[in-house]
Structures are given as structure tokens and as C-alpha cells.
Amino acid sequence: MIAHLPMYDVSKNYQAHQRLWQAFRDLMPNAPALTRHSDNLLSDWLNPELFFSQTCGLLFRASLRRHVKLIATPNNNIENCAPGFYHSVILARKGSAPDLIKNDFVLAYNEPQSQSGWAAPQSIGISGKSQLCTGGHAASALALTKGIADIAAIDALTWMFLCRDWDKASQLEVVTTTPPTPSLPYITALKNDAKTLYQNLKKAILGIDKKDQETLQIFGLVNIAEQDYMEYPLPIAPLS
């Protein structure tokens, strides 16, 4: 069986993730150990042996929802967002923010199937004269500091972790934020009992140390229905 938490798998979260998962396994002894994700996340998510993972809301509503069950959505306590929702921050180098209305800038984004990196800026008309696909949110932020992009869209939780862990975050500033959308959902294979997973994961989250909750920025679970994810349109494809 496959179990991983790939979306915020940064080094300072590792031990807290392990303690959360151990609390979950104490409630579900048959659950597999938490492992690092493979290089092919989509393959993992489509694998009938998927026990637990987290995916992007855009990919979920675009195609993945037909192949997995939605367990729940984490409550990350994102400022100005309802429980279970998040937004993206639009970043620029400090003192160098371009005019967003003119769209005359290079936009760094992590990947075209990302809600926070690509769909969210599109929802407020931010696309740029050209785009730079970086492969990851941290790489998009780095592209700003290197001067090879002017604007980047990064999910608010990743930005919190970058501000905590990355010394170059102080070189960047938030220009604006995007409208909230449902956060990244937890999923399992179709054959699994999503309700049981939800019940035990909720107990595990609420039972871990407050410091671990704060490290992971996970404070509970929210039942956001599949149709709520479907309310948001699919974005156009990037030009590059």
C-alpha cells in the first residue's frame, strides 16, 4: 500500500509528519508506514494500492476525482480564508513589483496542473507576457530572487513555510492574494473506506502535540464536497 504526504514534504516538517502518522497508525494498525513519494506522483495517485495521499485541487477536479475517493480537506487556518480553504500569494521582489494590470511581466508558476500556481492567478487575470514553468513553488520563489521572473503565484501555506525556513524569503513581498478555493484534498483509492480514514485521521490530528499542529499548520479536517471543488473553472493552458 502507498501512503505519503507529498505536498508539503519539507525537511522541517518531517518529524512532525511522522508523529502525526504514527498517531494515525495507533488508531488503524493495518495502515502502512508513511513513505516518501515516488518521482511519478500521478502514477501513485492512480495506483489501486493508494492508501493515503494529498493532491492538488485542480488535478482532482480535472480528472483525478474519477479514480479516487475524497477523504477530507485539511484546515490550515489560512488568514482571510474559511476553514478548509486557501489562497495564493502573488509575489515580487521587494520594491520591484510590476503593474499587474499591464500584464507586462514574466510569471513564474510551478506547473500547469496547479491550482495555486497557475489556475489561481488566471482567476484574477494574471498571466504575464510570458511564463516560466519552474517545477515547484520554491523554485518559483527562487526565480524571483535570481531576476529571471517578475511575479510568482505560490500557495499561502508554502509561503508560510518559506518565510519560516528560507533566508531569501525576506527579499520578496506579497503584492496581492487570489480568491480562496478549497485546499488540497486528502485522497484514497476507490476500494478503501474513506469515512473510516476520515474519522481516524481527525482523531490523530486533534491528538498530536500543539507544536506539531503548528509546525504542519494542520488543525483539523473539513468535509468539503466534491461538487464544491467542481465549482471552479478549469484554466486555459500556459503559453509556455
23: domain CATH number?
A: 3.40.190.10
Q: Distance between CA atoms of 67 and 64, rounded to whole angstroms?
A: 5
Same domain? For 105 and 173 the reply is yes
| Residues spanned by the domain of 150 | 88-179
Q: What is the pTM of this model?
A: 0.94
Cell of 187: 485522497
Residue 237 lies in a domain: no
Tell me if 93 is assigned to some domain: yes
Residue 238 lies in a domain: no
Of 138, 155, 179, at which residue does a domain stop? 179
Q: How many CA atoms lie within 13 A of 46 on its CB side?
A: 7
Q: Are residues 167 and 189 in the same domain?
A: no
Number of domains in the chain: 2
In a domain, 132, yes or no: yes
Whether 102 is covered by a domain: the verdict is yes
pLDDT tens across 57-74, in order? 999 999 999 999 999 999
Are the C-beta atoms of 178 and 153 separated by less than 8 Å? yes
Q: Is residue 236 part of a domain?
A: no
Residue 138 and residue 112 share a domain: yes
Q: Which residues contact 227 (CB under 8 A, 6 or more apart)?
A: none
Same domain flag for 17 and 37: yes
240, pLDDT greater than 80: no
Render pLDDT for 146-202 as a digit per residue (tens, 0 to 9). 999 999 999 999 999 999 999 999 999 999 999 999 999 999 999 999 999 999 999
Please give the Cα distance from 141 to 143 (Å, whole number).
5
